Amino acid sequence: MSFPTPPAMMGYDRTTAMFSPDGRLFQVEYAMEAAKRGWTMVGVRVREGVVIVAEKRKTHPLIDIEHLEKIYMVDEHIGAGFVGFGSDGRVLIDYARLLAVQYKFTFGERIGVEYLTKQICDVMQIYTQHGGVRPFGVTLIIGGVDETGPKLFVAEPSGQYISYKAHGLGQGGAQATEVLQREYREDMSLESAVLLGIKAVAAGMEGKPSTETLEVGVVDTKTRRFRKLTKEELQRFLTKLGV
């Protein structure tokens, strides 16, 4: 007795340039799965600004985790982080920085958060429709404050981007999102958003959160400037959470 061959076994997953009979691009789906295996990351947007919280893991005893970066400054008013393949994420962050510099040089003003996100997603989408290349194995969280207010976007390997009030990604993304759905409020302060972001990431972490295993980036609506919390600031938040 013979059984029908699954679509993926018929070669539909060998290239991004071929749809399966049921309308799927398997390599794009594989890239999304690769991103889901990344360390937990959370973004929270409130009226007072945007917060990005990321988990860091010491995968080897000799790794200098203090210099392991998961959240990056893209421009003065924009920060970003990613889950998935670190090399893919680094290339996209560098591209985003170049876009921000070119925009400022050309137009004499800061780039809009959504416009920057769209440009990055255009590149990610190109890598889903040509043979001989593979999709980027990362999902990005891009947050910032521009002329229209605070913005938080999630850019997927498919090239699709979605605006969120709060969202969790990575291995602990489901647990983090549950915390966000339960406790998020649009009128909460930026400090409360930081606390919520840390709490959400902690819910999806394997170990105990600490100043070594967490990284937090913040963009305040008043200053429109991205910065990372110092260890002292992060410890105060952890103390408030009773960690």
What would the pLDDT profile of 177-197 be if each residue is shown by its tens digit? 999 999 999 999 999 999 999
Count the alpha carbons within 13 Å of 69 in the hemisphere toward its beta carbon.
12
Taking the CB of residue 129, how many other CB atoms lie within 10 A of it? 13
Q: Is residue 201 part of a domain?
A: yes
Q: Is residue 7 part of a domain?
A: no
Q: Is residue 137 part of a domain?
A: yes
Mean pLDDT of 10-34: 81
Q: Is residue 10 part of a domain?
A: no
Residue 187 domain boundaries: 40-59+68-240
**240 alpha-carbon distance from chain centroid:** 25
**Three-state secondary structure along the chain?**
CCCCCCHHHHCCCCCCCCCCCCCCCHHHHHHHHHHHCCCCEEEEEECCEEEEEEECCCCCCCCCHHHCCCEEEEECCEEEEEEECHHHHHHHHHHHHHHHHHHHHHHCCCCCHHHHHHHHHHHHHHCCCCCCCCCCCEEEEEEEEECCEEEEEEECCCCCEEECCEEEECCCHHHHHHHHHHHCCCCCCHHHHHHHHHHHHHHHCCCCCCCCCEEEEEEECCCCCEEECCHHHHHHHHHHCCC
Q: Is residue 1 part of a domain?
A: no
Q: Is residue 26 part of a domain?
A: no
Q: Is residue 207 part of a domain?
A: yes
The answer, yes or no, to whether residue 120 has pLDDT greater than 60, is: yes
Q: How confident is the model at residue 13 (pLDDT cuts 50, 70, 90)?
A: confident
Specify the higher pLDDT residue, 182 or 21.
182
pLDDT, position 56: 92
Measured in degrees and rounded to the nearest 5, phi and psi for residue 175 equal -65, -40
pLDDT, position 37: 92
Tell me, what CATH number does 190's domain have? 3.60.20.10
Number of domains in the chain: 1
Taking the CB of residue 28, how many other CB atoms lie within 10 A of it? 23
Write the CB contacts of 113 (distance below 8 Å, at least 6 apart in sequence): 77, 78, 142, 143, 144, 145, 146, 151, 153
Q: Is residue 9 part of a domain?
A: no
